[in-house]
Amino acid sequence: MKKRTLSIILVFATLLFSVSSVFAEGEKVEIAFKVGDSVLSINGSDVEVETPYIAGEGTTLVPLRVITEAFGAEVNWEGETKTITLTYPDVNIVLQIDNIVAKVNDHSETLPEAPALSANGVTMVPLRFISETFGAKVGYDNETQAITVTKEIIDDSNTVTGVTDKNRIGDNYYNWSIDTPRQMTMTERRDDGLLTVFESGNSDISIRIYKIYEDSPSFDEEFTAVKDLLSSNTLVEAKKLKDPSNNDYMLLQAKDSETFIEYREYFTKDYVYEVVSTIDLAEESSKDMILALSDSFALNYDIQNTHNLSNVESSGSLKLRNISDEKYKISFKIPANFGMITSSNAENEFKFMSMDENSNGYVSLGIYSKTENVTAESLAYSDRASRISESNPDLVTLSDVTSSSNDGFRYTQKISGSKNSDSYTVDTFFENGNYIYNFTVRLDDPEDSMTMSTLLSSLKAEELDPNEIGQLLRNDPDETNIKINIGSFNFELPSFWKKSANITSLGDEDSVIYESTVSSATLSIMKYEDTIYTNGRVSDIAADFASQIESNDKNTIITKTQYTSVNGRRFAYFTYLREDDDYAAYTTVYMVAHEGELIIITLIEDDIYFTETNDPTIETILDTLTV
């Protein structure tokens, strides 16, 4: 027995030596041969092997090691039991000579023919089974009787294989992990850790994390919404389940003629974890691998066996993320619980906000071109002036702009007494080469000097080459007003107001809704049509409206209904305060009627932006009124 085992090992060793030197390095391996021919072509190089033959009912048997090692799989032989173990990313196969049942990962498969030993002691295996299990395609030409085996080879340096040899990969801050997707490329990993995407060909698996707030959908509501979203496809699975930690999660699967989708969503006390697999059915070989990865997702993190993707590190009592960008050669730190709010298209701006529901924490960095008229000093003064013009002086205190050789220019803003936004902000501006850097840090606690100092001092910026970066303009509002037409009325708005909705043809109702890019204010202008809407009825309509507002115990009328004349039109207006447990908003309502049309202008502002008299927004709108 020992001699027999030794001879087989020697045959394997000789075969390995003969074929390994001709494997081409590239993106694809192609093996071509004919049954009964002892010469195989591997990427154009001929290799003499044990002759493939047909067994049973037309099953082609080929020398195992040539095929598997051409793909880069590891082959191990156990002579006593005649067992072969094949190891490949995400695929483990156990075969036994003369045993028609093989084990693939954690399940058994029946082979068309059992593995066999040739007279020379070479293991011969069913070609189609071994090739397709490793994700290769087998082709056959009827005319020439030529067989081709094609396998796309993944470059490990671009996949997770090039990152870690641990069995699992995950995020220790958000406490999740998944089997290491060795055949996939990690194409996206957001700086805040809330999105991770792995891809293979046209298929992918994404892991997205959402913070749960008071008004977030419940598990049952979300299940119904996702099910409805997938309803245009063929629904394959829809289950409500529990994970090992007793967290609710949903499993839904759907497909059409081209794509298979699996959607998992896990609910915990603080976060929702969304695991979505999108599989191109033209890449059928990827389906089992990706679904197995999805099934391995778990809300736990084993530090010994898991590669950590998180960029969170400890600094004393603080947990911070290190944010960096190679193109702009910058790095800085943010608190670990901050989420990114930057548009992916604005690559020169980095913005992060606290995900805690009652926090106003914020960190941002903007990089802009320096010109004769735009400098760090000019931006510091103009931004401070803009804050002053929009702020309630009873709640907001701004320092003067100060300068130093190290920090450039800065000013501070302290908000105190606000029900919504008590905070402390340091806004800094400095120049480095041809560019201006605007770094802003806002914290809830003005006494938290350690965190503020740590964040401000964390920014590092290397000088940029303007030939590579080009011009970077800050999208400041221009002086051109936005023209608005509602029914017979025309208005104008400063350009820092951006349209957020346009609803038309709702019966007799039209409306436009704008949001301020300077403050958190919302402005709506709505039109109603009815013959009762005449100039003489405005008083009655306003009184009825104010009475309805005041009937809600969360509302307090601040300014009772008054009247003013603008460009010959009589306006009624009033202001009320809406207060919830942790929020306060001031709403100013103006009404005007004209020949069957009622126009209602509503401005909603946080308390830090509200001024009871001489509101610049309302004055600007009314001053531009024409009919």
Whether 431 maps to a domain, the answer reads yes
| Structure confidence by residue, pLDDT tens digits, 537-588 | 788 888 888 888 888 888 899 888 888 887 777 888 889 998 877 778 889 8
Residues 215 and 338 in one domain: no
Instruction: Report which DSSP code applies to 536.
Output: G
Whether 474 maps to a domain, the answer reads no
Domain boundary among 152, 181, 215: 152
The pLDDT of residue 31 is above 70: yes
Residues 373 and 427 in one domain: yes
Residues 609 and 387: their CA atoms lie apart, in Å, by 9
Whether 528 maps to a domain, the answer reads yes
Of the candidates 73, 108, 104, 70, the residue with the CA atom closest to the CA atom of residue 89 = 73
| Structure confidence by residue, pLDDT tens digits, 299-335 | 999 988 899 999 999 888 889 999 999 999 999 999 9
The pLDDT of residue 155 is above 60: no
At position 65, the amino acid (one-letter code) is R
Residues 474 and 78: their CA atoms lie apart, in Å, by 67
Q: Which residue has the higher pLDDT, 469 or 515?
A: 469
Whether 476 maps to a domain, the answer reads no
Residues 572 and 507 in one domain: yes
What is the Cα 556 distance to its own chain's centre?
41
Residues 165 and 295 in one domain: yes
Burial of 242 by CB count in 10 Å (0-12 exposed, 13-18 middle, 19+ buried)? exposed
**Please, which pLDDT band fits residue 607 given cuts at 50, 70 and 90?**
confident
At position 603, the amino acid (one-letter code) is L
pLDDT on residue 8: 38
| Structure confidence by residue, pLDDT tens digits, 63-120 | 887 777 777 777 888 888 889 888 776 677 888 999 988 888 767 788 888 998 888 8
Residues 132 and 197 in one domain: no
The pLDDT of residue 159 is above 80: no
**Please, which pLDDT band fits residue 535 given cuts at 50, 70 and 90?**
low
Measure Cα distances from 302 to 139, 179, 269, 299, 531 in Å.
43, 12, 21, 10, 71
Residues 549 and 544: their CA atoms lie apart, in Å, by 9
Residues 307 and 300: their CA atoms lie apart, in Å, by 13
Residues 246 and 334 in one domain: no
* Beta carbons within 8 Å of 582's beta carbon, 6+ residues apart: 358, 419, 420
At position 614, the amino acid (one-letter code) is N
What is the Cα 385 distance to its own chain's centre?
35
Residues 546 and 550: their CA atoms lie apart, in Å, by 6
Q: What is the mean pLDDT of residues 183-190?
A: 88
Q: Give me the DSSP letters along 154-216.
A: P-GGGSGGGT--SSEEEETTTTEEEE--TTSEEEEE-TTSSEEEEEETTEEEEEEEEE--TTS
Q: Which residue has the higher pLDDT, 32 or 400?
A: 400
Contact 152, 27 (CB under 8 A): yes
Residues 189 and 185: their CA atoms lie apart, in Å, by 11
Residues 454 and 494 in one domain: no
pTM above 0.85, yes or no: no
**How many domains, in total, are found in the chain?**
4
Contact 290, 268 (CB under 8 A): no
Residues 62 and 115 in one domain: yes
Beta bridge partners of 34: 146
Domain boundary among 469, 500, 518: 469
Residues 303 and 172 in one domain: yes
Q: Give me the DSSP letters along 253-305.
A: EEE-SSEEEEEEEEE-SSEEEEEEEEEEGGGTHHHHHHHHHHHT-BS---TTT
The pLDDT of residue 13 is above 50: no
Domain boundary among 123, 152, 181: 152
* Beta carbons within 8 Å of 221's beta carbon, 6+ residues apart: none
| Structure confidence by residue, pLDDT tens digits, 384-432 | 998 888 888 889 999 999 997 677 999 999 999 888 778 999 999 999 9
The pLDDT of residue 5 is above 90: no
Residues 463 and 533 in one domain: no
Helix (H) / strand (E) containing 576: strand 569-579
Q: Give me the DSSP letters along 312-334.
A: EEEETTEEEEEEEETTTTEEEEE
Classified as helix, coil or strand, 573 is strand
CATH of the domain at 91: 3.30.457.10
Residues 98 and 190 in one domain: no
Residues 53 and 44: their CA atoms lie apart, in Å, by 22
Residues 455 and 326 in one domain: yes
The boundaries of the domain holding residue 205 are 156-308
pLDDT on residue 66: 76
CATH of the domain at 365: 3.40.1000.10
Residue written as token pair 């290799």: 47
Q: Report the largest interatomic distance among the alpha carbons of the chain, rounded to a whole angstrom.
A: 112
Q: How many CB atoms lie within 10 A of CB 36?
A: 10
Whether 300 maps to a domain, the answer reads yes
pLDDT on residue 520: 75
pLDDT on residue 11: 38
Measure Cα distances from 21 to 24, 70, 86, 239, 567 in Å.
8, 11, 20, 51, 90
Contact 162, 169 (CB under 8 A): no
